[in-house]
Amino acid sequence: MQTFLEFEKPIAELEGKIEELRHLTNAGDINIADEVAKLQTKVDKLLRQTYAKLTPGQKVQVARHPNRPHCLDYVQGLIEDFTPLAGDRFFAEDRAVIGGLGRFRGRSVVVIGQEKGHDTESRVRHNFGMAKPEGYRKAQRLMDLADRFKLPVLSLVDTAGAFPGVQAEERGQAEAIASSIARCLRLNVPMVASVIGEGGSGGAIAIAAADRVLMLEHAIYSVITPEGCASILWRSPDMAGEAAIALRLISHDLKELGVIDRIIQEPIGGAQRDPAGTVKALGDAIEQSLREMDGLDSATLRAKRREKFLEMGQKGLG
């Protein structure tokens, strides 16, 4: 079932009409096929118009759209022989972080990604994509593995943020994130991070201090959720839309700031309208990114990765 966002209401109404027409057996004078085609053209036009000028606040909604492909959809669509690996070897297995070995277009790779889940049961199982310290320690362990066997690391970022809880604090959430960032930066193998939905703060950068950072067109990447920012700076969570604008969390701005390297165009109407196409498009971009780094030795990789992050913030938005 398609979920519609608030701003998609006119589109939803048109598509509702199309559905109705399709279920009509006796339409009298009108030609159903013609009517449907006409309405479909309208829908396409409206979708294109709407999605061409999404506000940052609307992008936040699209980035969190429940029907958007999630980490496991990309794993399923892009990784052959996926072999999930579990546990941080210290405390627990964190199902907010998917990890494992697999083959991506011929290359053996290590996959690390945040999974939000797609229904109540799976959301709870994956803790809504909010990792605890054990998730970030699992990520580090998998990066160790990648280094040892010289396998590229592909990370998929989709989290509102690291889990804020008493036990997460007790087990060193901050230390786990800090060490995970340091681990990314020390990798001797190429790392491609992809922001597929929500790139939420420290919880995201922990697995995104990568050689290449890719981002889906309507994904967001921010230091704080717009709601959190609004309640602090505007003292009202209702101002999240304003905060979303001010934070410059959309792919276009992040590209200009040099924080991300490549934007992956989404299908008209967003990734949720063509998950398979989106998965393939991201796969192509990841493959391209890996090719760019083929043949680079580990010292060069590390030096260039550092350089890239050190250059960030030298210029602002025009």
Partner 1 sequence: MNWLTNYVRPKIRALYARKEVPDNLWHKCPSCEAMLFHRELEENLHVCQHCGFHMRLDPIKRLQSIFDDGAYDGVELPKSVADPLKFRDQKRYTDRLKEAQVKTGRTDAIVVGNGLIGGLSAVVAVFDFGFMGGSMGIAVGEGLLTAAKLAVAKKAPLIVVPASGGARMQEGILSLMQMPRTTIAVEMVKEAGLPYIVVLTDPTTGGVTASFAMLGDIHIAEKGAQIGFAGARVIEGTIRETLPEGFQRSEYLLEHGMVDMVVHRRDLRDTLVRVIDLLTQPVRSEIEVVDADFEEAPVSNAVVVTTASASQPGAGDD
Q: Which residues bind partner 1 (CB under 8 A)?
A: 162, 164-166, 168-175, 177-179, 181-182, 184-186, 201-202, 204-206, 209, 221-224, 228-229, 232-234, 242-243, 246-249, 253-254, 257, 259, 306, 309-310, 312-317
Confirm if 207 and 157 have CB atoms less than 8 A apart.
Answer: yes
Spell out the residues 6+ positions from residue 254 whose beta carbon is closer than 8 angstroms to its own. Answer: 215, 221, 248, 260
Q: How far is the CB of 230 from partner 1 (least distance, A)?
A: 8
How far apart, in whole angstroms, are the C-alpha atoms of residue 163 and residue 174?
A: 11
Q: How far is CA 273 from CA 34, 37, 306, in A?
A: 23, 18, 37
How far apart, in whole angstroms, are the C-alpha atoms of residue 48 and residue 240?
A: 25
- Looking at the Cβ atoms of 96 and 279, the one nearer to partner 1 is 96
How far apart, in whole angstroms, are the C-alpha atoms of residue 249 and residue 219?
A: 9
- Looking at the Cβ atoms of 20 and 170, the one nearer to partner 1 is 170
Q: How far is the CB of 255 from partner 1 (least distance, A)?
A: 11
- Looking at the Cβ atoms of 31 and 300, the one nearer to partner 1 is 300
- Looking at the Cβ atoms of 45 and 89, the one nearer to partner 1 is 89
- Looking at the Cβ atoms of 182 and 276, the one nearer to partner 1 is 182
Q: CA torsion sign, 267 to 272 to 276 to 279? A: positive
How far apart, in whole angstroms, are the C-alpha atoms of residue 84 and residue 196?
A: 20
- Looking at the Cβ atoms of 4 and 128, the one nearer to partner 1 is 128
Q: How far is the CB of 88 from partner 1 (least distance, A)?
A: 15
Check residue 250 and report its DSSP letter.
Answer: B
Q: How far is the CB of 260 from partner 1 (least distance, A)?
A: 9
How far apart, in whole angstroms, are the C-alpha atoms of residue 36 and residue 33?
A: 5
- Looking at the Cβ atoms of 47 and 229, the one nearer to partner 1 is 229
How far apart, in whole angstroms, are the C-alpha atoms of residue 167 and residue 151?
A: 33
Q: How far is the CB of 286 from partner 1 (least distance, A)?
A: 20
